[in-house]
Structure 1
């Protein structure tokens, strides 16, 4: 099939490249000519494992191309995906739909023949209806079906998520859209990926509901971690005991400094605003947002307490800056608030992240950046693991100990066990585990 992708950001780029890899003919459109030129050369500015290789192979095969002109992509397309950003609107927290609506109007002027216009962006309920109205108003003669097809991609695992999805949710207003959407995703049938056809509004709500539920799951285990610390339990064993229940499952039950990233913070807030508009408040989600905001300050207090109650003129080494491993995304990363608070308290902060330092430098002043975890440890009064990159899981603890001014390790991701760290002379602090108790090695601690 011939497919046009409007918006070559994270979601649009992954969608376009994977569809091209399925054998479809894909043209990705972006209004940034510099980005288009770079992508046409196979160069990407984001870190997503496997994405660069797929772009180059599909460019070489002639199935993938990039342009800044809708007129080159839309008229011949059987499907047009709108994959532009929907950031939180300043001032009120609603999703900013201006980019979606502008894209819909621009696309409408270039439609030719029967076309399925697919909203891939995360949008509030009812947006598909408005997109259909905009297209009809801008081009009354257009033969078009508007579909909602929300994405469920995890940064760092996006390629695998697209190619081996748990489900594909497709919201349609007319049965005429069913066949082309099924044909688009036919290559996934071998993986037995279930296609869930529903109405547009239900599809739009499903995306928000899924992200809000996962955010609540993270927040719940973080509150359980606080209770475990107070009561003398081990949150990792609690999480394992919960996760072995098939009704609950083990994912997103890893205690830490709270959720961040491009999706959970803005989507939970948008859902709260949508619910308020409809007079049906989501009080659990409202509380989740509040608790998550407070979580970052609590982690800063944990670091200060580990340093004896004072960090002024002390050097704090920070390992990991991005909101999760395998990405360079700093959006709403817990490290931003944690480091900001430490700096406010007079600490000197030295940080290292395998991919996120360039983006972090644009967001945080007065932070020093080092070339490795061991460089961060030089003369540090405390070392803090904020993001659980794989390279932080098997550090040479003896080498770290020799480099540090004071052997304090604050592990906000529970990467290590007390026994493992203590034998190297460290004073160790983790999340939701009593001092002196080992981590349960069977508990999954990989990024979700």
Structure 2
């Protein structure tokens, strides 16, 4: 079986490598010449554990290839996947479908045989229906069926998510389209993966609903963390107490600086807009967007308040820049507003991230210095801020930190350290939701987007 994937970005590249691992012949069409050259040279354009090895193995086996010629990519393909970007439109929050429809039009114009056109990109409800209408208008001479197959990949564990998914969702209107997608995912039958066959609109909405619900869990536990700090409770015990309830579950109940990355910020805002346009507003989703933005905007003040004194001229070590561990993705990373506030306060910032420093440099103030390692970053620091939960940061022992740092203040926004151990080593430790004694905190002022609030 042969398929084509249009777009060699995060979703397209991971999907291509994993389908090839399933035994499918996959050709990726990539229009960016720089990215195409890197892919052909075996250089991954993104950081994703295990991806480079998987791509290399399947290229060597002859199951995976890259081309800049769309005609060559789709030749003989039974299914053509569209995996291009759908960024938020500036100023509105709606998903920008420019690349999706441009890719679809090129595919439809070039096809010389029947095929299933599949959206892998995250697209608003109704996109598949519009693509079907486009196919009927452009190619009435050809049997082109449209399907939706949303991805549920977590950055940092995307290969495992694809190869061992919780479920596969397929939105299709014909038995032929459903049979093609079933055949592609047949290897998952061995591990009894549920495959949900549904309509186009339903499949598209499942993706947004899932991401919005997970973002809601993250935002809820962050608000509970603030409450824990105010009343002297421990948010980790609160999360465990909640998570033992099978109706709630333990995942995504980890307090932190707020969610970022390529999915949650974009998809929650897009869902709010989709719901508004349908005159069925999702007030919970709107509030999640507003609360998360307020949390990230307040990080700088939180750190400055923890310092207890003016930061001008003081050395601040920042460990972690990516929005989470296991990725170099800086999109909507909480580290960006936090570091901007520290730089504005006059701090001398030395940052380190195992994967994201090159991606971070264009997004952060020019005054930020970058260390070659975590020990180098913390050497001589008066204040340490943990922004990302990389495992190598967890291994930093209190005694080692005390020997390297000039100051004794730690702001741990990921709760990777043991508060008691840090305090025993002489540190003034500030975690998230780990109030060992009740204290008053100023409530965050949340300004809802008026367009979002009133629809």
**TM-score, normalisation: structure 2:** 0.94
Q: Is the 8 A contact 2:232 2:437 kept in 1?
A: no
2: distance between equivalents of 1:411 and 1:146?
47
- Match of 1:161, SS state, is helix
Match of 2:386 in 1: 385
SS in 2 for 1:210: helix
| Separation in structure 1 between the aligned mates of residue 110 and residue 338 of structure 2, nearest angstrom | 48
Question: Does the 8 Å contact 2:328/2:359 carry over to 1?
Answer: yes
CA drift at 1:9:
0.3
User: Which piece of structure 1 moves more, 92-101 or 127-136?
Assistant: 127-136
Tell me how far apart the structure 2 counterparts of residues 87 and 319 of structure 1 sit (CA, whole Å): 28
Q: Does 1:190 align with 2:190?
A: yes
Other structure's SS at 1:109 match: helix
**Whole-angstrom CA distance in 2 between matches of 1:28 and 1:132:** 22
Say whether 1:285 aligns with 2:285: yes
Aligned to 1:167: 167
Is 1:406 equivalent to 2:411 in the alignment? Answer: no
Give per-residue Cα distances to partners, 1:34-68, cap 9 Å, x unaligned: 32222123221211000000110001000000001
* 1:9-28 alignment runs, 5 A limit: 9-28=9-28
The residue number in structure 1 matching 2:181 is 181
1: CA distance between counterparts of 2:119 and 2:126?
Answer: 12
- In structure 2, the residue matched to 1:127 is 127
Which runs of 5 or more structure 1 residues have no equivalent in the other structure? 438-448
Aligned-partner SS, 2:253: coil
Moved more, 30-39 or 195-204: 30-39
Answering whether residue 425 of structure 2 is matched by residue 424 of structure 1, we say: yes
8 A contact 1:418–1:436 mirrored in 2: no
Q: Distance in 2 between matches of 1:222 and 1:275?
A: 25
Q: In structure 2, what is the equivalent of residue 442 of structure 1?
A: none
Separation (CA, whole Å) in 2 of partners of 1:373 and 1:151: 34
CA distance in 1, matches of 2:373, 2:113: 56
Shift of 1:392: 0.5
Alignment partners' CA distance in 1, 2:2 and 2:419: 56
Q: Deviations over 1:244-296 (max 9, x none)?
A: 11111010000000000000000000001111111111111111111101112
Deviations 1:200-238 (A, max 9, x none): 000000000000000010000000000011011100000
* Aligned mates of 1:309, 1:282 — CA distance in 2: 42
Whole-angstrom distance in 1 between the partners of 2:245 and 2:4: 43
Separation of aligned partners in 2, 1:206 and 1:376: 42
Answer whether contact 2:234 2:436 (CA < 8 A) is retained. Answer: no
Aligned CA-pair RMSD: 1.2
- In 2, the alpha carbon distance for the partners of 1:284 and 1:91 equals 21
Partner of 2:305: 305
User: Normalising to structure 1: TM-score of the pair?
Assistant: 0.96
- The more displaced of 16-25 and 311-320 is 311-320
Return the offset for 1:173: 1.6
Instruction: Show the counterpart of 2:141.
Output: 141
Residue matched to 1:440: none
Aligned length: 437
Q: 1:316 Cα shift?
A: 1.2
Q: What is the deviation of 1:305?
A: 1.6
